[in-house]
Amino acid sequence: MTEAEQPVCVIILGMAGSGKTTLVNRLTSKLYSSGPPPYVVNLDPACLEVPYPANVDIRDTVNYKEVMKQYGLGPNGAIVTCLNLFSTKFDQLLSLMKKNQGRHKYYLFDTPGQIEVFTWSASGNIITEALASTFPTVVVYVMDTVRSVNPVTFMSNMLYACSILYKSKLPFVVAMNKIDVVDHNFAVEWMRDFESFEEALDSETSYVSNLTRSMCLALEDFYKDLLVAGVSSTTGDGFDELLQKLVAAEKEFHDVYQIERKEEESRAKASTPSMKKVTGEGEEMPLVVQDSAVGREMSEVFLRQGSDESSEGEDEETPVGRDEMEEESFADFVNRVRDEKLEKKNAKNEPSCSKS
């Protein structure tokens, strides 16, 4: 299968209420009308209903309410546990996806409302890694444009986006959503032109505004090549541009990220031979869910009775190794960026952050 024929996984992330589900719905209908239909996976176990036709729905595999009851968990703990349980069967979903490739260009993944549940959990990592090591994978970060008109809130959103980029190490598209209410050009301007952002900050005199100013300079590199599209998931405006940005992100995956990931994987394999078991396609993940096919037909709650699946206790052997590995590669990444900055600075013979 050539690069162009390969399907692309799109993981939709964003703060609660930013419009992830509405965006997946709009993107799904757009793709249905313009080419091969997407393969849609709902990874939010707590949502009441999804407006799009989901090919795979986590709610068919794990029953969120039942998980809360059986494990005595609150809402967030239960979402994490549902994802943990689902991730142990993720190899089955990958097999389904492999079987279906050729029929779909995009595999869309709608994620839970509480963003950190996916981005900072072991199962979120396992799912992301499993996808990225099997298919080209990109992240769409949905930003609520209406709630980002305040420069400090905008900066918080961008810092979060940046942290996800570093954590996932995947090509990244920011979908500035709800442009039917507020045009996103102010945000694009803030990213491109530090002075306009400073002007917007002028009305803020707090300590936070000084910090925000410094942060803006620190994010210069992040903004530089960032793929951005303004969209309205309600009206459908901007989705052609979003699709173009997805194509660019896919290209980035092949040209940059895939190569880096392969190098990183081989470095990690060389230094931690025991990790081979979990960095493959997930065949050797511990089984805590009963055997069954993943898909609409799954309607039971698949839990191993009496076992402790709390978010701290799960996957005892694997996350420790993975975390160490991530820390190591993140440290490498930070060192590399710092060295590059130093080199640049020496070359220019001026401070790297000066922009006045």
Ligand X SMILES: Nc1nc2c(ncn2[C@@H]2O[C@H](COP(=O)(O)OP(=O)(O)OP(=O)(O)O)[C@@H](O)[C@H]2O)c(=O)[nH]1
* Contacts to ligand X by CB under 6 A: 14, 16-22, 44, 113, 177-178, 180-181, 232-234
Alpha-carbon span 113 to 95, nearest angstrom? 27
The alpha carbon torsion through 87, 92, 96, 98 (nearest 10 deg) reads 90
Q: How crowded is residue 32: how many other Cβ atoms within 10 Å of its Cβ?
A: 13
Nearest C-alpha neighbor of 281 from the set 58, 98, 8: 98
- Distance of closest approach, residue 12 Cβ to ligand X, in angstroms: 8
| List of residues 6+ apart from 173 with CB closer than 8 A | 138, 139, 140, 141, 227, 228, 229, 242, 245, 246, 249
**Identity of the residue, 8 or 142, whose beta carbon is nearer to ligand X in the bound complex:** 142
Q: Taking a C-beta distance cutoff of 8 angstroms, is the pair 46, 114 a contact? A: no
**Identity of the residue, 47 or 208, whose beta carbon is nearer to ligand X in the bound complex:** 47
Query: CA-based Rg of the chain, rounded to a whole angstrom?
Result: 21
The alpha carbon torsion through 232, 236, 237, 243 (nearest 10 deg) reads 100
- Distance of closest approach, residue 327 Cβ to ligand X, in angstroms: 29
- Distance of closest approach, residue 75 Cβ to ligand X, in angstroms: 12
- Distance of closest approach, residue 108 Cβ to ligand X, in angstroms: 13
Q: Which residue is nearest to ligand X (CB)?
A: 113
- Distance of closest approach, residue 66 Cβ to ligand X, in angstroms: 20
**Identity of the residue, 181 or 256, whose beta carbon is nearer to ligand X in the bound complex:** 181
Alpha-carbon span 262 to 264, nearest angstrom? 5
- Distance of closest approach, residue 112 Cβ to ligand X, in angstroms: 7
**Identity of the residue, 169 or 178, whose beta carbon is nearer to ligand X in the bound complex:** 178
**Identity of the residue, 52 or 257, whose beta carbon is nearer to ligand X in the bound complex:** 52
Nearest C-alpha neighbor of 164 from the set 208, 133, 197, 128: 128
**Identity of the residue, 89 or 178, whose beta carbon is nearer to ligand X in the bound complex:** 178
